[in-house]
Structure 1
Amino acid sequence: MSNSPQGRVTVVGSLNMDLVARTPRQPRPGETISGHGFKQVAGGKGGNQAVAAARLGAHVAMIGCIGDDSNGAILKSALEAEGIDCTALATSTSASTGVALIVVDDASQNSIVVVAGSNAEVSPADIAEQEALIASADVIVCQLETPVDTVRAALAAGRRLQRTTILNPAPAAHKLPIDWFPLIDYLIPNELEAATLSGVTINKPDDARRAAEMLKAKGARNVIVTLGSEGVFALLDDGTASLFQTQKVEAIDTTAAGDTFVGGFAAELARGSAVADAIAFGQRAAAIAVTREGAQPSIPHRHEISA
């Protein structure tokens, strides 16, 4: 891999304790089924992407909020163990640390219920207080598991400070406000999120192209749609449209695969790599992550990624 200088990534986002149950299949509404495994692991899309960026080559700072409880202490210690700067990680005196209830079936598909807890307390004021930290980054990464006003404030700060901004619009329950799009350098939804944001049902790569064209027309500089085992479709600011095929692997758990891609992409972009190379790097990292169980435990280190 490249020996170029370490880039700097600031992640604004959620931190959750993941409670993961393994089951033969996903339960139907009202149904109780027996599981065959349980783990409690560090997660949250913000935390996952921060860990991925750190393991995959970036110097990372985290802006977020944990509760004053054992889960919060564990999550903060896990970030610090990865060398992540936690000086901007606040502690709530009123809300518990966020949790995610995750069911992973034997087909390696997952369903997730997130309880925001302290993540809901990350505010635009926190972004204003951390402007120097944002200014020092090469890349700013956001998701949608913290309040939307806070996410917009972070994207706006990144744009004002001429930093590269990435939005992973997850979970996407509805379309984004139109004034968000010009603030986004790289919009990275999965196929379901891209469908929600664009109104285009995505069943094949051509659908992803139509969705990406609509989202780019709204003002996003680049749109990168992750398609799971079908690869990644990218529509870039120079007009280039490409489908990046993914490495075929035997997946056992897709939890945090998207977060690994985003973190790896951000880390490589921060190092100064070309966009296509950063996409391919993120894909290789995600391909390793799906062969392992758990969220953060599945994320590989840079030395594991083949050139």
Structure 2
Amino acid sequence: MDVQRRDQAEPPTRDALLTAWRAEERGQPEGWDFSALEGRMVEDPVPWDLDRTYREVLTGTRTALDLGTGGGEHLLRFDGHLPDDTFAAEGWAPNVAVARRLLAPHSIEVVHWAHDRDREPPTPMPFPDARFEVVLSRHEAYDAREIYRVLRSGGHFVTQQVGGSELGEIHRALGLLPRYPEIDLARLAQEAAQAGFEVLDADEHVGFYRFADVAALIAYLQRVPWDAPDDFSVDEYADELLALHDDTIGAGRPLQATKIRFWLHLRKPEAPSCPDEASRRMAAC
């Protein structure tokens, strides 16, 4: 699908552009819904089928956890495959309430928790050892050691992540350095192996986002504020945004930015058979 863009006989004035861009400043929407950007932003698809892998690991499982569930919308796509004992975790407070409303009718409890990348040792997950057979994480930060701890022997962890150097063109235009350039497939695969995981599958894809105009970019950044400066607003960054417009849409060139995705399918190795009841209650069994 092509990004829709209006043809204008006369270039818009600075004030007209800023007025249109300010109209996009509505704050981060609740949940995890990008449908309002249909026709204004397109992105290259990844070559793997994450949903299929989710369904495969969920089939027949008895306990599951979804990290970074947002408003719970994506998790419910697998409603027919979710076990009765399913939990979800979300770190952004407004989304917790949204997810609880959506998931409560499905008997899925939502806890308010998120991993802090800057904390060492990692923030403990609010679950006991060996609590889950499957853990899912779509674009949510995690610590491999904690995932390993809460997984049962033989359990699966499937995650898709956003590369830490994504949107580099936009960051440079706004004078922003990537916040987490260390987040890439090689590093997370290494951390998984160090935690004790087997890597069953992994891949990385580099493509592009394409925006109809700067207004569409601003609308996108409202939904992913961690990809924008902390003080981001149209008025605060008016000069940078106008320069970006002049260099792209104003010059007849596409407004695009690098998209980076990678994924990992990890497995906690089977533990040796447990000789007695006491051992079976421990995390390794």
TM range (shorter): 0.3 to 0.5
User: Given the two structures, how large is their TM-score scaled by the length of structure 1?
Assistant: 0.33
Relative CO higher for 1 or 2, CA cutoff 8 Å, sep ≥ 6? 2
